[in-house]
């Protein structure tokens, strides 16, 4: 298992570098976040041994157990899944980056929790560009309102936008969504939001991260291509 994870990470890093190279980007401008959901600490430790630093989880409870079990590791934890307001405090003390801010209400809870606990997590606003009622993420208009509010927050630090596009078999079919997230970022910067607060575009997963990088992703969230197939989604 350890050898497979090491090899998979090398392959993914090479593919990241090639995708960046195709569009004249520095591969170092793309952060690889290893999504370890459903996998145990053995998998996390194997990835750490192979040089991986950033890890992402989509459920707070599952993540907290791993964060505690891995307290000896120098890793950065990212929350990439939906967050309920009543777990804002737990999230703020446990994650360096929260990718899934999708309502003003959640942002307010995070801000209060950050002030109370003295933590200053980076936050990304998750945008729903497909108007999928079943999916999380704020529709673009609401996302703009969240960005404007987060930009003037005192404790949480706005860092960018996140996208979880609909699944499309052909990775190129997702390209328009990636391009639209980047365009939304550019529009917000043109409208006066400081670009440093929108420097991150978290987009791209195992089957489409290269396309996402070509379209400007600065964080790719890769699970299956590193750890193998999951037994539950």
Binding residues for ligand PLP (CB under 6 A)? 35, 37, 58, 80-81, 164, 205-206, 221-225
Tell which phi-psi region holds residue 194, choosing left (phi > 0), alpha (psi between -120 and 50) or beta: beta
How crowded is residue 192: how many other Cβ atoms within 10 Å of its Cβ? 8
| Residue closer to ligand PLP (CB basis): 187 or 230 | 230
Residue nearest to ligand PLP (CB): 223
* Distance in Å, CB of 194 to ligand PLP, minimum: 26
Could you tell me the two tokens for 198? 């929108």
| Segment (H or E) for 111 | helix 104-117
* Distance in Å, CB of 204 to ligand PLP, minimum: 8
| Residue closer to ligand PLP (CB basis): 25 or 37 | 37
* Distance in Å, CB of 118 to ligand PLP, minimum: 28
* Distance in Å, CB of 112 to ligand PLP, minimum: 25
| Residue closer to ligand PLP (CB basis): 84 or 224 | 224
Sequence-ordered strand ranges (E) for the chain: 31-35, 54-57, 76-79, 97-101, 122-127, 157-163, 200-202, 219-222
Could you tell me the two tokens for 142? 């609401």
| Residue closer to ligand PLP (CB basis): 18 or 230 | 230
């Amino acid at each position: 298992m350890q050898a497979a994870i090491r090899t998979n990470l090398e392959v993914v890093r090479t593919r990241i570098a090639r995708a960046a190279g195709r569009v004249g980007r520095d591969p170092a401008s793309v952060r690889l976040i290893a999504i370890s959901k459903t996998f145990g600490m053995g998998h996390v430790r194997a990835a750490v041994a192979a040089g991986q630093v950033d890890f992402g989880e989509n459920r707070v409870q599952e993540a907290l157990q791993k964060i505690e079990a891995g307290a000896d590791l120098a890793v950065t934890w990212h929350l990439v899944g939906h967050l309920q307001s009543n777990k804002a405090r737990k999230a703020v003390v446990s994650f360096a980056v929260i990718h899934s801010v999708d309502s003003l209400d959640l942002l307010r809870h995070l801000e209060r929790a950050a002030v109370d606990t003295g933590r200053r997590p980076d936050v990304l606003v998750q945008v729903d560009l497909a108007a999928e009622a079943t999916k999380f993420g704020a529709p673009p208009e609401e996302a703009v309102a969240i960005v404007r509010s987060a930009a003037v927050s005192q404790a949480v630090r706005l860092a960018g936008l996140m996208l979880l596009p609909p699944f499309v078999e052909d990775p190129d079919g997702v390209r328009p969504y990636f391009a639209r997230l980047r365009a939304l970022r550019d529009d917000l910067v043109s409208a006066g939001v400081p670009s440093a607060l929108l420097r991150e575009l978290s987009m791209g997963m195992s089957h489409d991260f290269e396309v996402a990088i070509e379209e400007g992703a600065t964080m790719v969230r890769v699970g299956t291509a590193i750890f193998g197939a999951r037994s539950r989604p």
